Amino acid sequence: MSETVLTYPSMFSLLSDKSVFQDGKVYATLSFYTGKNTGDGSYVYMSSVNKATANGGSIIDPDKMGTLTSTNVQTQLVDYLKKQGTGVGTGCLVRIGVEHTAEMYGGLPNIPTFDCTPCFKKIIATIQAPVIRLLEGTYYVKSKVGKSPAINMPNNSVVKGAGMYNSYLKNMDDAPIVSIPIGSYGTQYTTVQDFGVDGNRQRLGGVFYNEGEGIDFGKGSKNHIIKNIHIKETNGEAIDIDGSEDVYIDNMYIENCSGNGLHISDGQPPRYCNVSNVTVINCAHGRGRSGDARSAGVLLRVSSLNVTNLIIKDCWIGILQNGTLVSKDKKEHTNITNLHISGSANQDIVVTADASGMNITNFIIKRAATNVYPTTIKADIGKSFMLSNGDIEAAAHIYIAGNATSGRRGATLNNIIAPSCTIEVRSFGRGAEPWSYVSIGNGCVFSNMTLSALYGFKVSGVTCDNINLAGQSLNGIISGNIVTQNIMTDTAVDALRNIMITNNRVGVAVAPVLVNNIYCLTIENLVG
């Protein structure tokens, strides 16, 4: 490569001297604008490069300056970028280097009134599989709802910053900042990492402004990496994975967002998402998805998801899983390992009847002292539900019910320490559905337990004050439990059939009343 022939203080001064350009020679700028010390670069003049390929950053047509000057005037920059690529013939400056920055295209960070969106759009429009580098600082961007977002990532593209707390995209109005919008089917292999997103929400006189989401990946896209991202102050959802497939999320910190913190939704449906090391704080108190009042720190509508190390603090609902799905594989579930929920204003975990199965292992729930909602976990199970190895550190109600219209389903609870919580498990199957099964035990500690309308169940290794066995429960075993008061059989309404109560330690000997068609009720070996 030839040595630099001349160095100029700005892009304007470089292009103004186009008469001296020689083929193969290198020319440099100290800054895109005079005295700003940003956007500097070196360029080779190549007489064979088609002017139609010019974009104003990596390839520059010297004949299409537009109204550009040496100062950072927004309208002049927009005019310059629009005219680049409209020339006829050959002869362009080609920038040395492969990564693209907004500064190369005239963008300036850290100026709240300077919109860097035209720079990012020019990169996306003219560069195949671009690598966009965000330097340290805050880039203000603008994109209207219903129109293309500030960065609409194409196939095989990368947006990479200088650190999740060092580089920021900050919203100037009300649209997603980084997005593959709905309708961009087939977009794949993208990476966003090492930067922050600031939704810049404001509230004045009860009116919300800047409604935009932080990151929005659209339906039908796949193979995405989201890593080391900080999202704050969005008035919509912080991150929306809407029908994407094969998504990898690691190390995200989400805070102070009015909508859902992390939303992974149905769409195609989404499958094979892996999420790890995510913290969601103070989200979902304002507007949820489509104004849904039941918004959550984490909203899931997904058929195959693995989550490891999830912290949810001070949100409206902790986790909400819902959505009608037709899974390609009946064995698919949402698996959450190492979960910590605290300070929820409403319920901590909600699973609706139309959701796929959920397994939660190693969890802690700390209820807020101001929480007036009695239920900490409410699960209307459409498929299966498993809770194991958890602590619930407050008095609350746990409600787990089967969905009578669904097919195979079940619930398993193991090693749950909730000494101040009452638990109610009901409506898992009838005689025509022998696949339903409920298993509770292996170190569970509750205050009181009610079992009602179960088909096939086992309660073993539980410590609690009372166990109340209510109507229409069939084919069950209550054995090896420590019950400080009593095991009660409530048979005032419906039948109990094929029930065995044996080898339990109770405070008061059970005295069942055999009425209303109780069949095969066995009670023995009760020790007071």
Angle in degrees, 0-180, between the axes of helices 74-83 and 117-126, rounded to the nearest 10? 10
Q: How far apart are CA 408 and CA 434, in angstroms?
A: 8
For residue 316, which of 406, 237, 249 has the smallest C-alpha distance?
Answer: 237
Domain assignments of the chain as residue spans, ordered by start: 1-99, 331-527
Q: What is the DSSP string of 16-63?
A: TTGGG--TT-EEEES-SSTT---S-EEEEEEEEEEGGG--SSSEE-TT
520: which residues sit within 8 A by CB, 6+ positions away?
Answer: 497, 498, 499
- Taking CB atoms within 8 Å and a gap of at least 24, the contacts of 510-514 are 510/486, 513/489
Q: For 102, which DSSP code? A: G
- Taking CB atoms within 8 Å and a gap of at least 24, the contacts of 2-8 are 2/26, 2/44, 4/28, 4/42
Q: Provide, for the chain, the percentages of residues in helix, strand and coil under a 3-state DSSP scheme, each rounded to the nearest 5.
A: 5, 45, 45
Structure tokens at 377: 């976990």
Q: How far apart are CA 101 and CA 22, in angstroms?
A: 26
pLDDT value of residue 180: 40
Structure tokens at 211: 């409604």
For the chain, the maximum distance between any two Cα atoms, rounded to a whole number of angstroms, is: 106
Q: What is each CA distance from 357 to 25, 284, 332, in whole angstroms?
A: 64, 24, 7
Q: How far apart are CA 252 and CA 249, in angstroms?
A: 8
pLDDT value of residue 187: 79
Say whether 258 sits in a helix, a strand or coil.
coil
pLDDT value of residue 492: 53
Q: Yes or no: say if 523 and 510 are a contact pair by the CB < 8 Å rule.
A: yes
Q: How far apart are CA 391 and CA 113, in angstroms?
A: 49
Q: Yes or no: say if 151 and 124 are a contact pair by the CB < 8 Å rule.
A: yes
Phi-psi region of 243 (alpha: psi -120 to 50; beta: other; left: phi over 0): left
Q: What is each CA distance from 349 to 279, 382, 391, 418, in whole angstroms?
A: 16, 15, 14, 15
Q: What is the DSSP string of 368-389?
A: -TT---SEEEEEEESSEEEEEE
The amino acid present at 160, given as its one-letter code, is K
Average pLDDT, the chain: 83
pLDDT in tens, 110-146: 999 999 989 999 998 899 889 999 999 999 988 765 5
Q: What is the DSSP string of 124-183?
A: HHH-SS-EEEP-SEEEEE---TTS--SEE--TT-EEE-S-TTTEEEEESSSS-SEEE-TT
pLDDT value of residue 293: 52
From the number of C-beta atoms within 10 Å of its C-beta (0-12, 13-18, 19+), residue 525 rates as exposed
Q: Yes or no: say if 356 and 386 are a contact pair by the CB < 8 Å rule.
A: no
Q: How far apart are CA 286 and CA 332, in angstroms?
A: 32
pLDDT tens, the chain, 528 aa long: 567 789 999 999 999 999 999 999 999 999 999 999 999 999 999 999 999 999 999 999 999 999 999 999 999 999 999 999 999 999 999 999 878 999 999 999 999 999 998 999 999 889 988 999 999 999 998 876 555 677 888 899 999 999 999 999 998 865 556 644 332 456 789 999 999 999 887 654 445 555 567 888 877 778 889 999 999 988 778 888 877 788 899 999 999 988 889 988 765 555 678 999 999 999 987 654 433 556 899 988 776 789 999 999 999 999 988 764 444 444 567 899 999 999 999 899 988 866 667 899 999 999 887 887 889 998 877 667 889 999 998 888 998 887 655 555 678 999 999 999 999 888 765 544 444 678 998 899 999 998 887 878 899 999 999 888 876 777 889 899 999 888 877 655 456 777 888 888 888 765 554 444 444 566 665 665
Q: For 263, which DSSP code? A: E
- The CA-CA-CA angle for residues 351, 460, 474, to 5°, reads 70
**Which residues, in sequence order, are bridge partners of residue 216?**
179, 240
Q: For 2, which DSSP code? A: P
pLDDT value of residue 213: 77
Q: Yes or no: say if 315 and 283 are a contact pair by the CB < 8 Å rule.
A: yes
| Count of Cβ atoms closer than 10 Å to residue 129 Cβ | 11
The amino acid present at 417, given as its one-letter code, is I
Residue 499: phi and psi, rounded to 5, are -110, 135
Q: What is each CA distance from 523 to 452, 499, 519, in whole angstroms?
A: 18, 9, 12
pLDDT in tens, 195-208: 999 988 765 444 55
pLDDT value of residue 362: 97
pLDDT value of residue 264: 85
